[in-house]
Amino acid sequence: ISPKLSELKMGILLLIRANQDAAEIFPDNSALQLAPYGNYYQSLSGEESLRRTYELLACFKKDM
């Protein structure tokens, strides 16, 4: 379980960083069109294990 939690932590940090970078690029939020949560992780590059972690996180999107 510990490796999966580490991957989840890294994935969340990457998402936060990507969100902050997007906010700097698009200061006007109306100009930024975000993909649905279910497709967001598919557009990210990286290792297969991180993609699977994003899939797991997407299961909880109804609680966000």
Total count of domains within the chain? 1
The structure's pTM equals 0.38
Structure tokens at 10: 């890294």
Mean pLDDT, consecutive 10-residue stretches, the chain (64 aa), reads 82 81 57 51 56 70 60
Full domain range(s) for residue 42: 2-63
Is 6:55 a contact under the CB 8 Å cutoff?
Answer: no
* pLDDT score for 32: 46
Residue 54: what are its φ and ψ, rounded to 5°? -65, -35
Is 51:42 a contact under the CB 8 Å cutoff?
Answer: yes
